[in-house]
A and B are shown apart, each in its own frame.
Chain A
């Protein structure tokens, strides 16, 4: 958003007119209702109008949206770039499969365990962030992700075998994690994933709105100011990494139960870079951007495949998308697209409202 737009849309004078003390203004309520309708549509309507194949793709979109949200928090809120998120997703899947095959623990406990173990690993991957930033941090996390991939390539994902690794070389290559009893079908599993994904969005929202969010905003803008305000920078940076990794690990557990099991081929190291690109295209500051990123990473490739278009087209789309975002829409598609649509609507409405509005108002 340009400075002119910023002051134009939310000028101090305009906002100050609102009576103080009123907790929920109209905008917040409209947002909340919009989100609720969107969620309910996905929950009730989507399974009815799509095939099982597309519903599985949508399950993956939910999974990757949450992973993207974790990355968006790191990049957009705290200002730390991580290229290790896909490797962390694989770790979440590995842990869930290992514990799932070894024990009969209920599914929510498996998700929690996968989240916690991945969270701890995320903190370790994030340790360099205390000293490094920008490109160097990105490189270090990419190296960590590559290391995790190499290890997983050797160990494979547990398929019900014995020992610490739980991989039986004589068994079938992969085996899926057992699903929760209330979500055995594709439809119910999609709904289950949607609810867990929604809870992860809520968790992230509570963080961003609360004490950690304020500390992160301070760290991102000025570490000296954060320190002077008494923010323990070490703690809050690692907390952000832990939160992103926790959310990613939980989704790894769902991914392990969604298809026919996991292989390392599903988690190429370079996908973390695509994810970062997708997050930039969607928008790093808002929550809707993460959903756009999930769509870009999982739904768009499936659509290209469906239309018999070459998959490389996706890379071109990413390239164009990132350039477009960096040049004209720094807040990402999730913010820019509705704005453009509003502009378009105003342009269309222009002949009808000409007498009432000046051209300048319409252009704005």
Chain B
């Protein structure tokens, strides 16, 4: 379980996150909102790329802000990026092994763990020695996903993993995302604009708009919430 308490981020006069308090219990949770709502900033705060002005985050009874960012990865925090960041220069195996070796545990079972992660995301048909630079967009996304699940992740942040993927590939991705909590015991937070993906994978969803939390609860209810519909579709302006 992760509890975010009163987190505020301020860049000059702009507040990408404004007093956000929300709790994600277990399984796969969604975080949605229109462009510029503060979703990526929220992930950046959790990963340590952005230091919030105030607030705290308690993840599995530990204070996340007390750890420097690279130690959060060792603790079990993993993330993917809106623009996919698989390391082209490295092979499939090395991409995933890089995360495993900096995680610093289970050294003896590294090979097994890395191949297991590639298998888990459905990349087992490729030679692990292939350089990631030659793979297509879908496989690169999956490499990033494998990096996020290798070892024993505790909190997995997925930032628009389905962006730019066709429907059938999104379905494969959804099945991978759904299996993460069962297989790894990790809590997954998913940011995406693809509502069917969010509906398919997330039991709980929170909605941000202009840096504020406007709704949170069971996904189906949240998506019917009138504030949420207004945030996405806008309101009629009265002249």
Bound Cα distance from A12 to B131, whole angstroms = 8
A230 touches B102 (CB 8 A): yes
CB 8 Å contact bits of B103-132 with A (1 = contact, 0 = none): 110000000000000000000011111110
Bound Cα distance from A218 to B102, whole angstroms = 12
CB distance from B178 to the nearest CB of A (A): 22
Bound Cα distance from A211 to B69, whole angstroms = 19
What A residues does B130 contact at CB under 8 A? Answer: 10, 12, 15-16
A228 touches B89 (CB 8 A): no
Question: For the complex, is B35 an interface residue (Cβ under 8 Å from A)?
Answer: no
Q: Pick the residue among A11, A16, A211, A233 that contacts B125 (CB under 8 A).
A: A16
Q: B48, B49, B71, B129 — which one has the most chain A CB atoms within 10 A of its CB?
A: B129
Question: For the complex, is B85 an interface residue (Cβ under 8 Å from A)?
Answer: yes
Question: For the complex, is A31 an interface residue (Cβ under 8 Å from B)?
Answer: no
A214 touches B134 (CB 8 A): no
Bound Cα distance from A18 to B130, whole angstroms = 10
Q: Which residue of A lies closest to B134 (CB)?
A: A12
Q: Pick the residue among A15, A215, A220, A232 that contacts B127 (CB under 8 A).
A: A15
What B residues does A353 contact at CB under 8 A? Answer: none
Give the interface size class of chain A.
Answer: 20 to 34
B85 touches A224 (CB 8 A): yes
CB distance from B137 to the nearest CB of A (A): 13
Q: Which residue of A lies closest to B94 (CB)?
A: A214
Number of interface residues of B (CB under 8 A): 37
B70 touches A232 (CB 8 A): yes
A228 touches B79 (CB 8 A): yes
Question: For the complex, is A227 an interface residue (Cβ under 8 Å from B)?
Answer: yes
A218 touches B87 (CB 8 A): yes
Within 8 A of A (CB), among B115-164: 125-131, 133-135, 139, 147
Bound Cα distance from A229 to B150, whole angstroms = 11
A222 touches B49 (CB 8 A): no
A229 touches B99 (CB 8 A): yes
A233 touches B49 (CB 8 A): no
Q: Pick the residue among B89, B127, B139 that contacts A217 (CB under 8 A).
A: B89
Given known pairs A228-B47, A229-B98, the reply for A217 and B90 (CB within 8 Å) is yes
Question: For the complex, is A364 an interface residue (Cβ under 8 Å from B)?
Answer: no
Question: For the complex, is B78 an interface residue (Cβ under 8 Å from A)?
Answer: yes
Bound Cα distance from A17 to B70, whole angstroms = 37
Question: For the complex, is A225 an interface residue (Cβ under 8 Å from B)?
Answer: yes
Bound Cα distance from A228 to B128, whole angstroms = 21
What A residues does B129 contact at CB under 8 A? Answer: 15, 18, 20
Question: For the complex, is B210 an interface residue (Cβ under 8 Å from A)?
Answer: no
Bound Cα distance from A217 to B104, whole angstroms = 19
Question: For the complex, is B228 an interface residue (Cβ under 8 Å from A)?
Answer: no
What B residues does A153 contact at CB under 8 A? Answer: none
B94 touches A227 (CB 8 A): no
Bound Cα distance from A231 to B97, whole angstroms = 12
Bound Cα distance from A179 to B152, whole angstroms = 54
Given known pairs A15-B127, A214-B94, the reply for A228 and B134 (CB within 8 Å) is no
Contacts A217-B90, A221-B89 supplied; 4 other A-B pairs, CB < 8 Å: A214-B90, A225-B87, A228-B47, A231-B98
Q: What is the interface of chain A, defined by CB distance below 8 A to chain B?
A: 6-7, 10-12, 15-18, 20, 211, 214-215, 217-218, 220-222, 224-225, 227-233
Q: Sample 9 A-B pairs with CB under 8 A, ordered by A number.
A: A10-B134, A11-B134, A218-B98, A220-B89, A221-B88, A228-B73, A229-B99, A230-B102, A231-B102
Q: What is the interface of chain B, defined by CB distance below 8 A to chain A?
A: 47-49, 69-74, 78-79, 81, 85, 87-90, 94, 97-99, 101-104, 125-131, 133-135, 139, 147
> Which 10 A-B pairs have CB atoms at the shortest separation, nearest pair first?
A230-B73, A230-B102, A225-B85, A214-B98, A217-B89, A229-B99, A16-B127, A222-B85, A232-B70, A228-B79
